[in-house]
A and B are shown apart, each in its own frame.
Chain A
Amino acid sequence: MLLRIDPSSAEPLFEQIGGQVRALVARGELPVGTRLPSARDLAESLDVNLHTVLRAYQELRADGVIELRRGRGAVVASAPDHGPLHEAISALVATTRRLDIPPATAVALLKEALR
């Protein structure tokens, strides 16, 4: 898996890390049972604070994306089939482009609707 973070971005680092893991899991690139690097290891790897990674992992666990197991570290948890969601997202993207709506507006509307 490739993780990238941008410290100059307005989005907090823990959300950047968590968001990418979410996306990788949702797309099936990280199958159920995949072991994620330990928080300490990943923090060194990305040159960020250990607590940043721990916070990202905690939120992923709270949302059921990963399980934190003693001794084995973070493991991708089983998740429901995302197939229908991907279809809906594709439709959403297509509609947004057709109506020429700015991506930021579409994301804002989506965030509001999910709240």
Chain B
Amino acid sequence: MRTPVPHRVATTLITLVAPLVILGVAALVAVSWSDQLPDPVAVHWGTDGPDGFGSLASAIVPMLVVGALLAIGSWALAFLAGHASSTRRIAAGSSLGMSALLAVILLGSLDAQRGLTDATQAPGITTTLLVAIVAGLALGALAAVVTPGDGDQPATQPIAADAPRLTLGSTERAAWRRSAFSRTTLVVGIAAVLVVLVLTVVTRVWPLGLLALALAVLLLTMVAFDVSVDERGLVARSLLGWPTLSVPLDEVVEAGVATVHPVKDFGGWGYRLGRGGRTGIVLRGGDALEVRRTGDRVAVITVDDAATGAALLNTLADRARARR
């Protein structure tokens, strides 16, 4: 029996309605300015100011279409496969964040052209880009924060009898530890930060430096994780302490070992959403600790010696359930 996806109303409001309202209002405001804007308006900027021009509609429509498609896609993902709060948060954050970014770029670039008769006189959009990135990040983070969490969902069934176990005396306590590190993420991440830094200096579009900083922080949150299995359940904590993925013992349905192909299963490396709504900490290909948890959620962590971690998690979960 499939558990229904929780918090569908909140998901729809945050991930679909709010972004569409932002995009719609931005489009209406832009249309209301049509008398004050030059025709054509500047719609594209190079390093030396505006270099692409078009009708007001050609500025509004692509923004609306891209924003709406992103919102609808994110909403569909969260509505249909958002069993885990991480899925819903990532969808809500991308959807609302992108709509804010697009709306600010549209309104900022047009606002600077109000009162002009010739769009070639339009000023640069560096400040607009900066404001748009900050607004996008802020609203994205806000959307992720206000998205409701999963709440406690204790399991009612015992762990499957054929799941791997570890022999543990009745008075024994055990803890399993492993550090997982991603060479791919480190190499690709450093390359990306360097490319953006070089671009920033070459183009002198300084807000890009902000993007380099954001990428560097993102890299630090995704490159290394400490994984532990003990009485607290499974906890995978990033180098920076965030993000953290944890599965308490009473929410473990079954732990095992799975083989992960980063690109095929998760579309890349890092803390990711995978096929079938799986939440993954993907640091390399190969063996991974896979935990099926209550509420039709699945957590995957690529870590060495996953078999021992899975066996201990099942064993400790058995014990926790016997204590209840």
Interface residues of A (CB under 8 A from B): 1-9, 34-35, 37, 41-42, 44-48
A45 to B175, CA, bound (A): 6
Known A37-B228, A45-B230, A47-B231; judge A1-B176 contact (CB<8 A): yes
18 additional A-B residue pairs with CB within 8 Å, beyond A6-B169, A45-B231: A2-B174, A2-B175, A2-B308, A3-B174, A3-B176, A3-B177, A4-B168, A4-B173, A6-B171, A7-B173, A8-B171, A34-B179, A41-B228, A45-B175, A45-B228, A45-B230, A46-B173, A47-B173
Q: Which residues of B contact A1 (CB under 8 A)?
A: 176-178
Q: For the complex formed, measure the closest distance between the CB of B48 and the CB atoms of chain A, giving whole angstroms.
A: 48
Closest to A7 in B: B171
Interface of B is mostly: strand
B residues sitting closer than 8 Å to A (CB atoms) are: 168-169, 171-179, 226, 228, 230-232, 308, 312
Q: Are B172 and A4 in contact (CB under 8 A)?
A: yes
Give the distance in Å from the alpha carbon of A41 to the alpha carbon of B226 in the complex: 11
Task: Give Cα A8 to B171, complex, Å.
Answer: 6
List, in ascending order, chain B residues with CB within 8 A of A41's CB.
228
A37-B230 in contact (CB<8A): no
Chain B residues with CB under 8 Å of A45's CB are 175, 177, 228, 230-232
User: Which chain B residue has the least Cβ–Cβ distance from A17?
Assistant: B175
| B312, A2: Cβ atoms closer than 8 Å | yes
Asked whether, in the complex, the Cβ of B174 is within 8 Å of the Cβ of A4, the reply is: yes
Bound state CA distance, A41 and B312, in angstroms? 18
In the complex the two chains form, is A42's CB within 8 Å of B179's CB? Answer: no
> Which chain A residues lie closer than 8 Å to B178 at the CB level?
1
B171 CB contacts on chain A under 8 angstroms? 6-9
Shortest CB-to-CB span from A15 to chain B, Å, is 15
Cα–Cα distance between A34 and B180 once the two chains are bound (Å)? 12
Q: Which residues of A contact B231 (CB under 8 A)?
A: 45, 47
